[in-house]
Amino acid sequence: MALLSSLLVAIAVQSAYATRTTNTKTRQCVQLEIPIKLSSFTTTKWQQPRVDSTVDAVDWVDWMTTWTTPADKAAGNVTINGTFKINGQLCVPPEGAKSDILQIATHGVGFDKRYWDVEIKPEQYSWVDYTLAQGYSIFTYDRLGTGSSDKPDAYDIVQTDDQVEILRQLTLLLRSGKLISSSKKLGGVNTLDRYTPDKIVHVGHSFGSICTIGLLQINGSISDGAILTGFLPNNQLGGISVGTWGFEFARESDPKRFSDRGSGYIVQKTKYNVLLSFLKKGSFEPALLDYAEQIKQPNSVSEFVSIGAIFGTPAKDFKAPVQFVVGENDYGFCRGECYNTYNITEIETDYYPAASKIAIHIQPKTGHGLALSTNATAGYKATFDFLRSVGL
């Protein structure tokens, strides 16, 4: 029965994705392959063990969590020169009242862009569908190393700085209206070639929120607003280590699905590892846990090692509104309980001292994976109410 259930979920995912990316009354989307060039881009060389097997993956986790491992793992600099293909989707509502406001959504570790566009009961879970129904446009993409985007070196290339730079370049392409003309069309409608947004709101989940934070640090004026989901600066942040993820070497863990991942790509072994990281008992449907397992993605070891480099620098030039959205039972960022863990004054000082408004929404009875939880749309409503309250 378990095998049959998994097969039915997989078939439903493939069927829904095939039909819902076509032009309908509420969805007109185009799928793209976007070349992003990193030219003389300097990033960090990290000192860490190589991962070429699951034994190595366990050793890497051991090294990351051993108390004598140096906090500063930097071992010099690396210069990157290359062009990388990023898979993305732009959707614009045909009659959207706010279609000139574009959301750029960056997913987190463990998934690709399908996190934003859940294909099981999309009317209850899809952030993309909800956004379009509210009249806004949205761009989602697979971060480098995930989904249908390129999967280059997991040590020197696929790390936080590069993800931030890719997000910056995607934002500039979208703001200039040159995204589609600069890209290869993979499918969808042919009516969005000249789409140019008037305003851009950056939306992130988890590591995607961290990438958004990094973007606003280096160019605060690039965004007209930010929604940071699955992330909340608080006194429990960092209390959960990578040792809880259940990582294996991706290509060894699932040779069929992850044969294109080389050295340094790790993935959660079972859906119960995914459950611990993203969901909370009593707040999800079993089909959504199966779906999360179906769409799970490996990540590079350097994404974890490089996360800390983002923190410690306030985004002094970001003067737009920002909302933090986190589940009450977020295990990774609040150790399972987010109420009474944060200080709004510290967030203002350490992150956004010039923001026009800072809001925090804690979604009740919800884990880290907000889009996979049963009351997802209640959280979505809180965000869009916030956007309207600040004129977006």
**Per-residue model confidence (pLDDT) at position 387:** 98
Q: What is the pLDDT of residues 144-174, one digit of tens each?
A: 999 999 999 999 999 999 999 999 999 999 9
d(CA 6, CA 12): 10
Closest CA to 310 of 153, 167, 174: 167
Helix (H), strand (E) at residue 267: strand 265-268
* pLDDT band (50, 70, 90) for residue 12: very low
Residue 127 has pLDDT above 70, yes or no: yes
- Whether 171 contacts 200, CB under 8 Å: yes
Residue found under tokens 């700085």: 161
DSSP 116-143: GS--SSHHHH-HHHHHHHTTEEEEEEPP
- Whether 31 contacts 186, CB under 8 Å: yes
Stretch among 25-29, 109-113, 233-237, 314-318 having the lowest mean pLDDT: 25-29
Closest CA to 221 of 171, 182, 180: 171
Residue 16 has pLDDT above 50, yes or no: no
d(CA 138, CA 219): 21
* CATH code of 293's domain: 3.40.50.1820
Number of domains into which the chain is organized: 1
Domain extent at residue 350? 2-389
pTM given for the model: 0.93
Pairing of strands 184-188, 29-46: antiparallel
Closest CA to 330 of 242, 211, 239: 239
- DSSP letter at 323? E
